[in-house]
């Protein structure tokens, strides 16, 4: 073993609810886990201002603060939390060899992948400015804040249609913005959208700018400027919330060719399990969950991964 090599029973790649929960369980099982936080320590939730649907926070909690709580809890049980990224993995033989950007080679008996997924954004400047202040990529997470208000959602697939109907139950009015003249969603979901009276579909439109106002550190969305892709005509809509539902990309590129994946890049796991096709390698959270994508479900699978890793080591 070289000077830059070290051994561990359990390596966790990625932070967020899945990674930190896996660390808490693995550390309490005396696996002495090493966790690399990745490029965005705490994951997607660090971009969320207020979380109201995670158990144990009756008054709600700011996303970054919740991730700090989970991190501290993992460290309390002596998880070795490291800032940095994993650059290369080799699962071809056991124990596994993994390289980090600090030059370290880690030889590990188990690996828990918790690298999450990244929402796809429109890429307009004002979207970035109001992210977390009226602009969201998760209607299930943030829809409640817009009860009785007017909102817009961008997209045309099943996710956009499903989130539009979810928002319609809470909000006064929902604008569904789609760049084409027909939705990509399934026929059943299309019918549901069309049959919902407070959803208005704005066909052939793309968002050009999100408008808002700022006062000190406070920001809020007030509207959006849309452009018709066929005529070039601009339209202004007045809204309080702006949702983007154009898909997510799992952060799984580094594991390509190492573990089985779906065509979409999500890591495949066994039913009712976080086991991948490689014995001793587990995947949890949004990197393997393209359906629920919630903090609480990610935490649940993080728990499962740590327990399965512990059982593998015991056997």
Residues with Cβ within 8 Å of 285's Cβ and at least 6 positions away in sequence, in order, are 14, 16, 17, 18, 19, 43, 114, 115, 116, 298, 301, 302
Residues with Cβ within 8 Å of 234's Cβ and at least 6 positions away in sequence, in order, are 208, 225, 226, 227, 228
From the candidates 141, 171, 284, 303, give the one annotated as an active-site residue. Answer: 141
From the candidates 10, 142, 286, 303, give the one annotated as an active-site residue. Answer: 142
Structure tokens, 251? 């952060």
> Cα(75)–Cα(300) distance, rounded to whole angstroms?
19
3-state secondary structure of 96: strand
From the candidates 30, 69, 101, 138, give the one annotated as an active-site residue. Answer: 138
Contact by Cβ (8 Å): 42, 68:
yes
Active site residue 240: no
Contact by Cβ (8 Å): 244, 234:
no
Q: How many CB atoms lie within 10 A of CB 151?
A: 27
The rounded Cα 250 to chain-centroid distance in angstroms is: 8
Active site residue 138: yes
> Cα(93)–Cα(97) distance, rounded to whole angstroms?
8
Strand partners, 10: 110
Active site residue 142: yes
Active site residues: 138, 141-142
């Amino acid at each position: 073993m070289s000077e830059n090599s070290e051994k561990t029973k359990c390596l966790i790649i990625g932070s967020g609810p899945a990674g930190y929960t896996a660390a808490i369980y693995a550390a309490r099982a005396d696996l002495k886990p090493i966790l690399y936080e990745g490029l965005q320590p705490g994951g997607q939730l660090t971009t969320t201002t207020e979380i109201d649907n995670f158990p144990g926070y009756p008054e709600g909690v700011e996303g970054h603060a919740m991730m700090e709580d989970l991190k501290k809890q993992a460290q309390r049980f002596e998880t070795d939390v490291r800032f940095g990224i994993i650059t290369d993995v080799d699962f071809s033989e056991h124990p596994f060899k993994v390289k980090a950007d600090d030059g370290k080679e880690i030889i590990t008996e188990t690996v828990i992948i918790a690298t999450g997924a990244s929402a796809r954004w429109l890429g307009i400047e004002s979207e970035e400015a109001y992210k977390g202040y009226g602009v969201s990529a998760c209607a299930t997470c943030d829809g409640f804040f817009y009860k009785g208000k007017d909102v817009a959602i961008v997209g045309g697939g099943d996710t956009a249609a499903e989130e539009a109907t979810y928002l319609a139950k809470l909000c006064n009015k929902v604008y569904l913005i789609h760049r084409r003249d027909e939705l990509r969603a399934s026929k059943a979901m299309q019918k549901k959208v069309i049959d919902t009276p407070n959803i208005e579909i704005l066909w052939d439109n793309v968002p050009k700018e999100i408008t808002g106002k700022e006062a000190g550190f406070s920001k809020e969305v007030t509207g959006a400027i849309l452009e018709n892709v066929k005529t070039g005509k601009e339209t202004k809509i007045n809204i309080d919330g702006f949702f983007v539902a154009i898909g997510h990309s799992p952060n799984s590129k580094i594991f390509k060719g190492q573990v089985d994946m779906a065509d979409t890049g999500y890591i495949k796991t066994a039913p009712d399990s976080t086991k991948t096709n490689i014995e001793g390698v587990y995947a949890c959270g949004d990197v393997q969950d393209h359906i629920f994508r919630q903090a609480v479900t990610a935490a649940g699978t993080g728990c499962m991964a740590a327990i399965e890793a512990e059982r593998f080591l015991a056997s």
